[in-house]
Structure 1
Amino acid sequence: MEDHDINEEEFEFSRNYFLAKESGKLGKKSARKLSEIDLVDEQDLRAEVSNIEPKHEKEIDLLINGYKSLYNEWVFELRYGLGLLLYGFGSKKTLIEDFASTALTEYSVIVVNGYLQLINLKQQVAMAMAEVLWDQLKLQSGSASGGLPKCQQPFNSRSMDDLIAFLDAPHAPENECFVCLVIHNIDGPGLRDSDSQHLLAKIAACSNVRVVASIDHVNAPLLWDKKMVHVQYNWCWHHVPTFAPYKVEGVFHPLILAHGGASQSVKTATIVLQSLTPNAQSVFKVLAEHQLAHHDEEGTVFFPSWC
């Protein structure tokens, strides 16, 4: 009897569950639209976000201190020729900068902020790394010979091939000499394209370069092929969730529930125009040229449906 009662209770529970689901489907759907949401000004929303009080500070401090105990291990991995890739929920910017300022004091460090929208890898990164490595080599050679050598740097052409060749050349095999490239958000918008990733992979594969990077996007590993992961970047993955807010990184990304600024409107318009056919793009070009030539007019208020 008891088993029979249990079966009836389970049947009644299941029946009520599916009846509730069915009645929910048949219910009246909301007619509200996403466009009807009263969005606030982005500056006001950012001000409110900055006033949010942090929580669980003691637990987070203990977590970060646990990561700091791994610094010696991370340095060993870099000296062994591996690249450090830090991932996990929360901003890792402060953690990586603390690691670089405390554990990498013997090496030259170049920092790249991948969360920026535009980054010139050739002029801002590759050239800076070559110059820093050249200064480091001059200091080592000068301390060994009693003075700095008066020779010209070997990459005056500033071509990417010459810079890569210099960073990969065996300059001082008897001494440990390398430049550490720190990349905050290597999966950021300014570095997410294929050309930037392949160029960074070539730089990371140089014998005098070591890379410390962070990722936050769930699809970040799709940026790399097998050769880039295991040969060029030679990643050593470390799961280091910090639960820290993305205060610095978030400044360069529009908030979802805020009105977009002028720059965001331009970016959105560019994406829409790029998705159009060439004929449609030419039509919009004619309209834009007409509007620029007649700037006193209010502009076109209606577009045919085929646009």
Structure 2
Amino acid sequence: MGDNGNWEEEEEEEDELEFSRNYFLAKELASSVKKSKHKLTDIDVVDEQELREAAMNIQPKHENEIALLLDSYIAMYPEWLLSLRCGFALLMYGFGSKKALIEDFASQTLTEYSVVVINGYLQTINLKQVVIAVAELLCDQVKAKRRVSSRQQPFNTQSMEDLLTFLYEVEVEDNDCFVCVVIHNIDGPGLRDSETQQYLARLASCTHIRIVASIDHVNAPLFWDKNMAHTQFNWCWYHVPTFSPYKVEGMFYPLILAHGSASQSVKTAAIVLQSLTPNAQSVFKVLAEYQLSHPEEGMPINDLYSVCRERFLVSSQVTLNSHLTEFKDHELVKTKRHSDGQDCLHIPLTTEALQKVLLEIS
């Protein structure tokens, strides 16, 4: 027994020594291997426009099979229309762009109804303008039914709450009379915030409004609680994979391994600025004009406030700060510390791009 115990102990010690030898040998070999000096920034990326053109020229595959698949969806158009008439909203999901499919459904089947389109794949969307357009269309239909005798207050002067109240309470003789709101990518960047989804849900709950929407993100259903999904939106889900490329939707997203295109930066900045108030645009112009005349330095916040106050663009520092917060949220303006210690504002665009942006918003 004693000999066996000693033998087992010796075997364990040898195993531990062998493990130690292997460990230090591995460390020694690892330290002797030459490490690559290449960095991610050394990758020779192509121009964004060139990459987009190459992507557009990729030849599609399995065209016959995809055509048969789309034909099967066309055969479902009457079912989709019946769902809308019964008060449901349509939610299309599945791999591939569903933009062309939904637009074809609307152009072929919804010819008797007014249609408003929301491109949710855009970075910014003015939802109130959409609701105003829906209210105007529905009001016209009500007038056609001779149910409105008094003059309606202009919709563009009403609040979002007033507009939704009007849409919810409006009465039309024909129950089959509704305005259809088509939303491409209801999970898009311009519609993802909770407040916007709440407004869309309330819009969908109106008696004479119908929603046809598409989603592409796997977590998109997390936007809605049980009440929103089953009561307000009242979704009728349809799995419609099209295997179509996201050509239009992808135009507004930066490409991986591509240089940022100046034209794309101008387009994005112009879209954001055009969605802001005229006063906010004027404040941005003041900052842009200063940067064009002083390209090497940012504009001190106090100087911007003084100029804007003189031009009656802002009434207080609080108003200016609200504009600056909006600019910073959209990455139109950045803050940097000047050599004398004061905070200065800088627009992260080249001189040429900044000039183009000013032309776009003018």
* TM-score bracket for the superposition, by shorter chain length: 0.7 to 0.9
Secondary structure of the residue that 1:177 maps to in structure 2?
coil
Aligned residues: 254
In the other structure, the counterpart of 1:85 is: 91
Secondary structure of the residue that 1:289 maps to in structure 2?
strand
C-alpha distance after superposition, 1:208-247 (max 9, x if no partner): 1110000111221122222211111111111101011111
Aligned with 1:59 (options 56, 61, 65): 65
What runs of 5+ residues in structure 1 fail to find an aligned partner? 1-22, 143-148, 275-280, 293-307
In the other structure, the counterpart of 1:41 is: 47
Q: Is the 8 A contact 1:180 1:209 kept in 2?
A: yes
How far off its partner does 1:282 sit? Answer: 7.7
In the other structure, the counterpart of 1:289 is: 344
In the other structure, the counterpart of 1:153 is: 152
Secondary structure of the residue that 1:115 maps to in structure 2?
coil
How far off its partner does 1:29 sit? Answer: 7.2
TM-score if structure 1 supplies the norm length? 0.73
Q: Is the 8 A contact 2:185 2:215 kept in 1?
A: yes
In the other structure, the counterpart of 2:107 is: 101
How far off its partner does 1:139 sit? Answer: 2.0
In the other structure, the counterpart of 1:120 is: 126
In the other structure, the counterpart of 1:212 is: 212
C-alpha distance after superposition, 1:130-165 (max 9, x if no partner): 0000111222339xxxxxx66412564422122111
In the other structure, the counterpart of 1:194 is: 194
> 2 CA distance for matches of 1:97 and 1:290?
43
Flag the 1:206–1:36 CA change in 2: closer, same or farther, 3 A: same
Q: Is the 8 A contact 1:89 1:242 kept in 2?
A: yes
Cα RMSD between the aligned structures? 3.2
> Structure 1 counterpart of 2:93, which letter?
Y
Q: Is the 8 A contact 1:63 1:242 kept in 2?
A: yes
C-alpha distance after superposition, 1:39-59 (max 9, x if no partner): 100011111111111111111
In the other structure, the counterpart of 2:178 is: 178
Q: Is 1:259 matched with 2:259?
A: yes
Greater relative CO (CA pairs within 8 A, separation 6+): 1
Q: Is the 8 A contact 2:91 2:235 kept in 1?
A: yes
Q: Is the 8 A contact 1:117 1:189 kept in 2?
A: yes
Flag the 1:30–1:214 CA change in 2: closer, same or farther, 3 A: farther
Q: Structure 1 stretches (4+) deviating beyond 4 angstroms?
A: 26-31, 154-157, 264-267, 281-288
How far off its partner does 1:35 sit? Answer: 2.2
> 1 CA distance for matches of 2:226 and 2:336?
41
Q: Is the 8 A contact 1:115 1:189 kept in 2?
A: yes
Percent identity (aligned): 58
> Structure 1 counterpart of 2:210, which letter?
R
How far off its partner does 1:171 sit? Answer: 0.6
How far off its partner does 1:113 sit? Answer: 0.4
Quick check: which has more Rg, 1 or 2? 2
> 2 CA distance for matches of 1:110 and 1:237?
21
In the other structure, the counterpart of 2:139 is: 134
> 1 CA distance for matches of 2:338 and 2:221?
37
C-alpha distance after superposition, 1:147-191 (max 9, x if no partner): xx6641256442212211121125125542211100001111111
Q: Is the 8 A contact 1:181 1:210 kept in 2?
A: yes
In the other structure, the counterpart of 1:166 is: 166
